[in-house]
Amino acid sequence: MLGIIGAMDEEVAKIKEHMTETTIEKIAGMEFHKGILEGKDVVTVRSGIGKVNAGICTQILIDHFGVNAVINTGIAGSLRGDIKIGDIVLSTDTVQHDMDASGFGYSYGQIPRLDTLSFPADEKLIDLAEKCCREVNPHINVFRGRVVSGDQFVSEQTKKDTIANIFEGFCTEMEGAAIGQVAYLNKIPYLVIRAISDNADDTAGIDYDTFEKQAIENSAKLMIAMTAAYEG
């Protein structure tokens, strides 16, 4: 069983439309749509925005639905000049940029007393996503790199520069590293797929409104194609 998480309704709408034999269960205010997508058993859910929602959602998928892998599909702000609006980033790993215990000598992003700074994504899922992306989204570029998450919509050049420099991230969003942390703690494979909606700088708000739909289309299309090819 594959768990598919989008933070917002828009990010999972098309995926839910493609599902058949769907039954819905509501837990913690989240509607879990269990059914068949491209011949595979999946649970698709809108977690809500931010790390706490995403973390709760992932744990429910694991405990209640018994998923053995989790994929997060959605949109993000680019942290690099070569990653353009519409392009897709596949997480090599995820890190939480708003975790700061540097007062105790920890690196930025390091959760005290946890044995890792970032949460490595599953290499097989990355490979599969890259292959599928080239097939269904040939007009865009696909990147493998670090996804940096925090409970902040990054829409300022200075904040973007700080995050980009400290974490060497490829894109920033608000859920991926919470999903990564829960997957890590439960020892299940995961992947974050994010299409770029904005550049996380002073124009991010305007770009987001303009390009949100197009970016979501790219990530949802990949999510559906990847499920068809998934043999987990």
Return the active site residues.
11, 198
User: What is the closest distance, in whole angstroms, from the C-beta atom of residue 39 to ligand SAH in the complex?
Assistant: 29
User: What is the closest distance, in whole angstroms, from the C-beta atom of residue 65 to ligand SAH in the complex?
Assistant: 22
User: What is the closest distance, in whole angstroms, from the C-beta atom of residue 47 to ligand SAH in the complex?
Assistant: 9
Contacts of ligand SAH in 17-76 (CB under 6 A): 49, 74-76
CA angle 70, 214, 222 (to 5 degrees): 35
Distance CA 194, CA 173 (A): 9
164 binds ligand SAH (CB under 6 A): no
Please say which residue, 41 or 98, places its beta carbon nearer to ligand SAH: 98
In this structure, the number of other CB atoms found within 10 A of the CB of residue 232 comes to 15
From residue 68 to residue 87, the character string flagging contacts with ligand SAH as x (rule: CB under 6 A) and all else as - is ------xxxx----------
From residue 185 to residue 204, the character string flagging contacts with ligand SAH as x (rule: CB under 6 A) and all else as - is ------------xx-x---x
Q: Given candidates 154, 182, 195, 220, which one binds ligand SAH under the rule CB under 6 A?
A: 154
CA angle 228, 95, 143 (to 5 degrees): 45
Q: Given candidates 174, 191, 222, 226, which one binds ligand SAH under the rule CB under 6 A?
A: 174
Please say which residue, 93 or 173, places its beta carbon nearer to ligand SAH: 173
Structure tokens at 211: 């390009």
Q: Given candidates 124, 153, 185, 189, which one binds ligand SAH under the rule CB under 6 A?
A: 153
Distance CA 71, CA 53 (A): 15
CA 18 and chain centroid, separation: 20
Residues 6+ away with beta carbon under 8 Å from 208: 75, 77, 197, 198
Distance CA 193, CA 218 (A): 10
Q: Given candidates 2, 4, 7, 60, which one binds ligand SAH under the rule CB under 6 A?
A: 7
Using CB under 6 A as the binding criterion, the count of chain residues that bind ligand SAH stands at: 19
> Nearest Cα to 41, choosing from 60, 19, 71, 12?
19
User: What is the closest distance, in whole angstroms, from the C-beta atom of residue 94 to ligand SAH in the complex?
Assistant: 12
Please say which residue, 129 or 230, places its beta carbon nearer to ligand SAH: 129
Q: What is the dihedral of CA 28, 57, 156, 220, to 10 degrees?
A: -120
Distance CA 31, CA 86 (A): 28
Q: Which residues are at the interface with ligand SAH (CB under 6 A)?
A: 7-8, 49, 74-77, 153-155, 172-175, 197-198, 200, 204, 208
